[in-house]
Amino acid sequence: MNSTNNTIWSSSISRAAINPVAQLLDTGNLAVRAENDNDPENFLWQSFDYPGDSFLPGMKYGISLLTGLNRYLTSWKSPSDPST
């Protein structure tokens, strides 16, 4: 939310959390979870589900049977040339 209470970004989560917190884990995963729930299965959102330009141990790729999201790796010839 910004200063006028307009949403700037949303994770499109399907459930609400009381007292949500963001936590940077030792693995490098940034997780949003309910304050009193440390179970990784109950994270509301986590950066490991959306890899960027780095792939860390514990990150997931492939098809999620829960959401249908397909994560895959693609090599590029150069930073500006996606051909192989």
Could you read off the pLDDT of 17-46 as tens digits, one per residue? 778 999 999 999 999 999 999 898 889 888
Identify whether 72 is part of a domain.
no
Is residue 25 in a domain?
yes
Q: Could you tell me the residue range of the domain that residue 24 belongs to?
A: 1-52
Burial class (CB in 10 A: 0-12, 13-18, 19+), 29: middle
pLDDT computed for residue 26 by the predictor = 94
**Rounded distance, CA 59 to CA 61, Å?**
7
* Mean of the per-residue pLDDT values of the chain: 83
Structure tokens at 25: 């884990």
The reported pTM is: 0.62
The alpha carbon dihedral of 56, 59, 63, 67 has a sign of negative
Tell me how many domains the chain contains: 1
Residue 43, domain member (yes or no): yes
Cβ atoms within 10 Å of 31's Cβ, excluding its own: 20
pLDDT of amino acid 24: 96
Residue 60 belongs to some domain of the structure? no
Task: Tell me, yes or no, whether 81 lies in a domain.
Answer: no
How high is the pLDDT of residue 34? 92
pLDDT reported for residue 13: 65
Q: Identify the pLDDT of residue 63.
A: 85
| Residue 32 domain flag | yes
